[in-house]
Structures are given as C-alpha cells and as structure tokens.
Amino acid sequence: MSNDPVLQEQIQKLRQKYAAMGQDLSSYLDGLLYSDYLTYWDYIHLDTLLSLQTPKTSFKDEKVFIVYHQITELYFNLVLWEIQQLVDHPHLEENFFCTRLDRMIRYFQQLVGSFEIMVLGLEKEQFLKFRMSLLPSSGFQSGQYRLIEICSTDLINLVSAKDRQTLTEQSSIEEQIEKMYWRSGATELATGKKTLTLQQFEEKYMGQFKEMGDKHRDKNLRKLYLKHFPDSKEVKSKLRHFDELANVRWPLAHMKSAAQYLKKDPEDIKATGGTNWQKYLPPRFQKIIFFPELWDEQEKLEWGRAGLN
Ligand code: HEM
C-alpha cells in the first residue's frame, strides 16, 4: 500500500463516493484495471462522424455542401447548449450571462465568417444539378434554427411582420405559432397552400415548437435579461451583437449563396423549398429582431440593409 498522502486521500474520497451509492470500490478498481485506454478516435466517435456524409449524387461538390450544413448544425447545437445553461441556471449572475453570450457570439461569428465555403466553394454547374436530387428538402427545415429563435425571444417577435399588429405577447402560443414568419414565407398567398417543404417540416417539429414556445414563454434570453439585468450596459451591448449576427449578418451571408447559385437572367431559379426566396430571405423584409427595445427607431427602420449589395 502506498504511503503517498495524495493517493491515500484520493482512495478515501473514492471509497466515500461508492459507499454513498452502496457500491464496492474494489470492484470498480478491478474494472479500471481491465478497461482499455481511451483513444482519440473513440472519444469523438470519429468513424461514426465520417460515415454521416451520404451524397445523393456522384457530384464531388455535394460532399462539401453536406459537410458545411452539418458543421452549421453543430454550431447551432452549441448556441442552444449555452442558452439552456442560462435558462436553467438557478441564480443567474451577470458574469455568467455575459460569458455565455460571448460564446454564442463567437459561434455565430464563425458561421458568418465561413459562409464563403458555400458562396465560393461550389461549382455552380454541379450545384444546380445535385440540388435536383435533394427536392423538396431545404435548410428552411432546420429545426435547430427555429429553436434558437424560440429560446431567444418572445414568440410575438417571430410573428410575420403583417400579423404583428393583430396579435400581442398575451395571445396564446398556438395563435402566435400559427403566424410565425416562416410559415407565411412558405405558403402561397393566393391559395393558402403550404409548400411540401413546410408540410413535412411541420409534421416533424410543430409539437416540439409549441412545447418549447410554452416552456420559454417566461424564460427566453429576452425575458432573462429584462428580469435580471435590465440596466446592464454590457449585457445590452452583447445582446445587440448577438441579435445583429443572428438576424442580419448570418441571413445576409446565407442570402449571398442563394444569389450566387439561383440568380439567372432573365428569371431566377426556383428554391428547393419553394419559397419566393428573393422576397423571403432578405432580413430587411422579415425584420426579425430578438431584442427590439435595444434598437432605436432609425436602426429598426434600416434593419438588414447593411452590406446588402
Ligand atoms: C449553396 C448554399 C445554399 C443555398 C443556395 C441556400 C438557399 C436557400 C433558400 C433559397 C432558402 C429559402 C427557403 C427555400 O425556399 O428553400 C433557404 C433557407 C434556409 N437555409 Fe439555405 N441555402 C444554402 C446553404 C445553407 C446552409 C449551409 C445552411 C445551414 C444550415 C442553410 C440554412 C437555411 C435556413 C436556416 C433557412 C431558413 C431561413 C429563414 O427562415 O429565414 N442554408 N436557403
């Protein structure tokens, strides 16, 4: 038996840990003895990760397209991870709130800064062909993108601009979800007919969106800052930064890829999700703002105009 006091203390702590659960430390030490050393590739599940790219065509650039979507979804997942920590925290403090916001800002900065991988990194001829095998799927069906919105602000701020006057924050979750801006974006105005992309998306996610809308009604980023740090300049400045990245910079970076591949004189090419993308994608039309009270009237008026050309 070693006389090393550090080791003795560690063993003592382990014994207490297992005893508290009615377990025998010695059996667990045996397990440690026989178990293999952890490898990097097992730890991050590298083989699984690299088996998740299954192009539908033999065009080489389709892999780039898939991988970049996957990278984006992983970053979206990290943003949601940070928001959940804020929402679930029992005693929110300003420093914790700010460091998590900083992380979310960094994730979105990575996404905005890397979008050229899409805009410049695909051969247009290949893209226009392989996209036909992806119909009717579209990034529009990113459930995590919608969840970031739902967890960041009140549903009323996600209601389509034309319906924002008729509903209020007090309207029911169902009424507000019914009028989400993305639902009207993918519905034909004349006939009221939903695109297939929207129908499938709703079938999969609508229940979860309602549940999350309910859960985050009083606990979303906006509500948290208004409750805990309404006067903090630092919090406000970080929230403005996040708002601009999520609702102007990313949409503009993303829109550039639509313009790059789907613009063709004299007529634009139809989007795979079936929206009128020229009217749907520009942030100046949807005017989605998570924290409207942090922007003055002029800024709201000019929302989404920066860098438009
Ligand atoms: C060549 C690259 C891309 C093109 C041409 C493109 C095109 C489009 C178009 C036209 C729409 C409108 C909906 C529709 O009718 O389909 C859309 C929506 C969307 N796309 Fe992309 N996209 C690209 C890359 C990406 C990537 C990498 C992501 C990452 C996940 C993404 C996520 C989204 C999201 C979240 C929406 C919904 C935006 C909103 O509702 O405001 N897209 N995309």
Q: Write the DSSP assignment of 238-296 as a string of letters.
A: HHHHHHHIIIIIHHHHHHHHHHHHH--SSSPPPPTT-S-HHHHS-HHHH---S-GGGS-
Q: What is the mean pLDDT of residues 139-158?
A: 98
Higher-confidence residue: 264 or 149?
149
Higher pLDDT, 209 or 190: 209
**Whole-angstrom distance, CA of residue 46 vs CA of residue 33:** 25
Q: What's the mean pLDDT in 180-197?
A: 89
CA of 171 to the centre of ligand 1 (A): 30
Q: How far is the CA of 9 from the centre of ligand 1 (A)?
A: 56
With a pLDDT cut of 70, the percent of the chain lying above it is 98
What is the percentage of the chain residues whose pLDDT exceeds 90? 88
Arithmetic mean of pLDDT, 33-47? 97
The H-or-E segment that residue 14 falls in is helix 5-20
Ligand 1 pocket, residues with Cβ under 6 angstroms: 68-69, 72, 118, 138-140, 142, 145, 182, 254, 257-258, 261-262, 271-275, 277, 280-281
| pLDDT, position 191 | 85
Task: Round to whole Å and give the CA distance between 69 and 56.
Answer: 15
Query: What pLDDT is attached to residue 131?
Result: 97
The whole-chain average pLDDT of the chain stands at 95
pLDDT value at 307 more than 80: no
Pocket test for ligand 1, best of 62, 108, 138, 247 (most atoms within 8 A of CB): 138
Q: What is the mean pLDDT of residues 244-258?
A: 97
Q: What is residue 308's predicted lDDT score, i.e. its pLDDT?
A: 38
Mean pLDDT, rounded, for 254-261: 96
pLDDT given for residue 96 in this prediction: 98
Yes or no: say if 246 and 148 are a contact pair by the CB < 8 Å rule. Answer: yes
Helices (H), 131-249: 143-152, 173-178, 181-185, 196-215, 221-228, 233-244
**Residue 309: per-residue pLDDT:** 35
**b (16+ CB within 10 A) / e for 184-215:** bbbbeeeeeebbebbeebbeebeeebeebbee
Residue 71: per-residue pLDDT: 98
* Cα-to-centroid distance, 191 and ligand 1 (Å): 24
Alpha-carbon distance of 245 to 241, in angstroms, equals 6
Query: What's the confidence (pLDDT) of residue 1?
Result: 62
Q: What is the mean pLDDT of residues 280-306?
A: 94
Query: What number is the average pLDDT over the span 11-23?
Result: 95
Model pTM?
A: 0.95
Q: What is the pLDDT of residue 293?
A: 97
Best probe residue, ligand 1, of 135, 159, 254 (max atoms within 8 Å of C-beta): 254
Q: How far apart are CA 164 and CA 303, in angstroms?
A: 16
Distance 140 CA to ligand 1 centre (A): 6
Between the CA of 3 and the centroid of ligand 1 the distance, in Å, is: 63
How confident is residue 275, by pLDDT bands cut at 50, 70 and 90? confident
